[in-house]
Structure 1
Amino acid sequence: MPSVSHKLLSGATLRVIGFTIQILIAFFLSPYIIHTLGDRMYGFWVLIGTFIGYYGLLDFGLSTAVNRHIAGALGAKDDNTIRKVYSTAMPIFFGIGCIALLITVIIVIVSPWILTDPEEIPLFRAVILILGFNMAIDFLARVYIGTLQAQMNFHIVSFVQIAASLVRATLIVMALTAGYKILALAWISFFTTLASNMVYYYYARKKLPTLIFDIKSFSRSTATTLFSYSFFMMISQVANMLRFQVDVFVIASFLSLSAVTHYSIASTLVNYFNQLLGTIMSVFNPLFSQQEAAKEHEEIKETLFFATRISVAISSFVGFGMVAWGSPFIERWMGLEYQDAYPCLVVLVLGVLTFLWQTPAHSYIYATSKHKFLAVLNIIEGISNLLLSLVLVRYYGIFGVALGTFFSLSVSKLIVFPIYFAKVSSFLYAEYMKQLLLYVIKCGVALVVPFVITSFWIAADYAHLILVGLLSALFYALFSWVILLSKADRKILISAFLSVLNKV
């Protein structure tokens, strides 16, 4: 359908643009922030940010549940269900926000028992109060973001995120230049998030007039349905934190806050890599939900393999670039003293690739509510990562922590996940793995020329890095277009691209 392909391509394009802007901001801003605050205080800021990230567990996976059920209701053209989901979700999120505030107050009270340095307690309390209150407000806005995404209005969410990123970066530079420190960063985060949420609310109500809160439409059965889906999403969120966020606590406990800063260089780059693919491929989530609700089983199969080809193509090239150009990039970006982050970067990228190649299969499982075992698998993977990191950090430092993530991810995603996916879907295991391996091999062939270009011209300066990146991307795109994508793929992409141009 042209309208669907237009929404998918325009949404993915805008998300890539927005994400590219975030990366560019981080590229210019991170060295400035680190050198302005110093390794220790930047490590302190990363630690607080990771700590606040755990507030996300209070979501209980309800944001995804709301997105999934509204998308399904849209596919089934069921306005009554939309109203019930919205009127049920809002009071729940209000309660969650109150819980977030209560937890924040408790943390402020017990902060002397959390920190060992008495001089850092007032700062810790102030930042936690600001960011905790920020999270409480943010919970209410999640319904509106999920509603916009369920309608595939990705452009609105992208524009808001782009504007917020630019404003936040500008304010951070102004604040640090004026001599302000971490407290100012917290206030900037609060006000930019608040403004963004107000815009989400406005457009969600405008785009979906049936989104009207009615306390009479609150339904215990709807709440039960949302929680039955979200419970396992919450388990997956815990697993993601164990996989990607607990590392900084392990490093801070066994090494130092300065080591957290060094490791965060690698982990931040990999997180951007992970978010990039998630940002692009998440446009397929509501489509899977709508196709499932409409019982379009053949279309689901076509969508999944098409999305997998796109996911493998993008993730393979970005992963190659991070491994091939990571060392000179870190040297030029941060300095030679941060090169110990590069080995961590390599093993983290290799581990994450095993997941990113299969992002569409994960999207399908979550979009069709078949994620219960996957949630359990993820939590086992997260615990394995924590245990391995606790052991390996003693022998290999920050590299050992990265190894823990690599081993747990690889076993889970390459061995266990494909078996489960074949079991809960209409895809045969042999068929799925054969196609996935074929796509990876074709992308490997397409990377031969970029590898040669890198071998001859790479150097630790931005001019060479940009030139090598552009040339590599050009040749990789040409080879991938010919050997990876089918004629039908190329026709869909060209049609969607022309549709986007006509809309501009």
Structure 2
Amino acid sequence: MHLNLKIHYMLIRNTLYNLLGLGLPMLVAIGSMPALIHLLGDERFGMLTLIWAVVSYFGLFDLGLGRALTLQISQLIADKRDADLPSLIYTSLLIMSALGSFAGMLMWLGADWGAAHMAGGVNTKEISGSVKVMAMAMPFIVLTSGLRGILEARGAFGIINMIRLPMGMFTFLGPLAVVLWYKNDLIAVTVALTVGRIVACLAHVYYATRSLPGMLNDRRYRRELIRGLISSGGWMTVSNVISPLMGYMDRFLIGATISAAAVAYYVTPFEVISKLWIIPGALTAVLFPRFTGELFAHGKESPTLFRKALLMLFLAIYPSTLFFGIFAQDFLRLWINPEFAEKSYFLLQVFSLGIMINCMAHIPFTLIQGAGKVRVTAMIHLVQFPFFILILWLATSRYGLVGAVGAWLARMLIDAFIMFFQAANIINMREVIDHPLRLCGVGILILLSYLPVLVDGLLTRTLLYACCISVMFAYIWLCIATKNERQYVLGKISSDFGGKHDL
């Protein structure tokens, strides 16, 4: 019981750290982008976003080794093989430094060619120079991924976000400060960004060495460690590349088969609702090393961890996604205009349901990877890819935007089913929920929750939304939550109001 409470507290605390580290920079971005666009101008700001995109893409040159290192360190700690940690870390960081340098070299060599093809109102030398400046940051960016992996394996999420928060804010405030107080120049902006990345890397070095004292004592390059790292990291990279690619294919096909305007009607609601992915992202970063440690040590607490993660995530994500589902048309009318809302509101309703399903699928996905079965998730995405593209093309060609969003929702459902099915091969699902049929009740309530979209009147739908949330939470409290979980919640409420509750 006390161990379960400790797990519960750990999940909440570290997830909140991650939400702050990821969420606050997003708010800064929303606030600073209009000023950046105004000061830099449309052309320079467009080039800056492309440079950000290129850096993000070349960041894949870590080949998944950051998360693979988290996996390997968690396994060694679980097996009480701390003596092997220094050589593993040294070998990993050496490889990642080389990969980062290679990525930077490619960026540098391709800068002039890329600038010639990107120039549109901006001097090509300015574009080329800014890309070359960012190329110098690539070794530090890739190395930071490995150092963050060390801190994640140690559960140091407070430290990670202590660095991530100012760095994420500086990504937008740094360029703004340069343009306001120095000059309107892309090279100057990217110099500031590069300095920021180097400082962030040095901060990670400092805290990683404090987290694992003596981590570089054994400076031996061990070739036998490479295969395991590259294998794990390589399969993770496959998932990291294929999954986003499937996410972008629908908009390209819509543009090719319908129109550019249709892409806007499709992408705009998706970009809004997909921001909710920050919630499972914050949670799974905490879960990954914990799952690995539990599964490679004894695995007894893995079902409990899995269950608590699912409950926490659903309680956080259900009200948010349902809000966008029920108030899709009202939201888009207010945010954009009535004409746009008329063309996009149904898409937002479908996206809200699909994002809810996909958010829940993040938990079994993380369990599978935490168990070291990274090849399984990669193969799932590789098999999905051609079938999804074919179905997406057929559906979009025949039914337009409705067909595209229908194909997308089908992929979300199938992907979630496969992930939970594979997770059942790792942990005993009977330990996750005693009565699986009760989950059918959750599914039925989710579907019934979307019936208010058929009702006219904002006030009526608001009342129905509140009723749906209340009924769902009551069902989870009475039919899904265990006695211990109810006691924990009641105890927290009692203690918060000055009472005492003996657990």
Asked if Structure 1 and Structure 2 have the same fold, meaning a TM-score greater than 0.5 normalized by the shorter chain, the answer is yes
**Aligned match for 2:102, one of 99, 103, 110:** 99
- The SS at the match of 1:219 is coil
Counterparts of residues 87-486 of structure 1 (less than 5 Å): 87-111=90-114, 114-115=117-118, 121-122=124-125, 124-174=127-177, 180=184, 186-212=190-216, 214-216=218-220, 218-245=221-248, 265-297=268-300, 299-333=301-335, 339=341, 342-387=345-390, 402=405, 404-414=407-417, 416-427=418-429, 434=437, 436-441=439-444, 455-456=458-459, 479=474, 482-483=477-478, 484-486=480-482
Structure number with the bigger relative contact order (C-alpha 8 A, sep ≥ 6) is 1
Q: Distance in 1 between matches of 2:266 and 2:173?
A: 26
Name the CA distance, whole Å, in 1 between partners of 2:40 and 2:435: 49
The counterpart of 1:488, out of the listed 484, 487, 490, is: 484
Cα separation, partners in 2 of 1:127 and 1:338, compared to 1, 3 Å: farther
**Larger Cα Rg: Structure 1 or Structure 2?**
2
Deviates more, 1:439-448 or 1:143-152: 439-448
The AA in structure 1 aligned to 2:157 is F
How far apart in 2 are the matches of 1:295 and 1:251?
Answer: 49
Which amino acid in structure 2 is aligned with residue 486 of structure 1? T
Judging changes above 3 Å, is the alpha-carbon distance between structure 1 residues 388 and 444 closer, same or farther for their aligned structure 2 residues?
A: closer
Which residue in the other structure is 1:78 paired with? 81
2:151 and 2:323 mapped to 1: Cα distance? 33
CA contact (8 A) 1:112 1:118 kept: no
**Whole-Å Cα distance in 2 between the matches of residues 453 and 440 of structure 1?**
25
Structure 1 length normalisation: TM-score?
0.79
Match of 1:462 in 2: none
Task: Give the distance between the partners of 2:219 and 2:204, measured in 1 at CA.
Answer: 22
Distance 1:48 1:410, change over 3 A: farther
Tell whether the 8 Å contact from 1:251 to 1:393 is kept in structure 2 after alignment: yes
Contact 1:384 1:408 survives alignment (8 Å): no
Question: Counterparts of 1:19-30 in structure 2 under 5 Å?
Answer: 19-30=22-33
Structure 1 distance, partners of 2:402, 2:232, is 36
Determine helix, strand or coil for the equivalent of 1:94. helix
Give the SS at the match of 1:215: coil
Return the offset for 1:300: 1.3
Gaps of 5+ in 1: 460-466
Distance 2:259 2:42 in 1: 10
Q: Which moved more, 1:159-168 or 1:479-488?
A: 479-488
Deviation for aligned residue 1:49: 4.1
Given the two structures, how large is their TM-score scaled by the length of structure 2? 0.79
* Alpha-carbon displacement from aligned partner over 1:4-26 (angstroms, at most 9, x marks no partner): 54433211122223344234334
Change (3 A) 1:454 1:478: farther
Contact 2:147 2:208 in 1 (8 A): yes
Report the CA distance shift for 1:498/1:50 in structure 2 as closer, same or farther (over 3 A).
farther
Q: Report Cα offsets for 1:16-63 as digits up to 9, x if no partner.
A: 233442343344345555677788876665555444433243222211
When residues 17 and 53 of structure 1 are mapped into structure 2, their CA distance, relative to the original with a 3 A threshold, is closer
- Counterpart-to-counterpart distance in 1, 2:123 and 2:331: 34
Q: Distance in 2 between matches of 1:26 and 1:326?
A: 24
Post-superposition Cα deviations, 1:303-334, rounded to whole Å, max 9, x if no partner, equal 21222122222222221123334444445445
Would you say the 8 A contact 1:87–1:212 is kept in 2?
yes
Q: Return closer, same or farther for 1:79/1:180 CA change in 2, 3 Å cut-off.
A: same
Identity of aligned residues (%): 17
Shift of 1:495: 7.9
RMSD: 4.4
Aligned to 1:8: 11
Unaligned 5+ segments in structure 2 are: 497-503
Could you say if the C-alpha distance between residues 169 and 52 of structure 1 is closer, same or farther in structure 2, counting changes exceeding 3 Å?
closer
Q: Deviations over 1:139-172 (max 9, x none)?
A: 1111211111111111111222222233344335
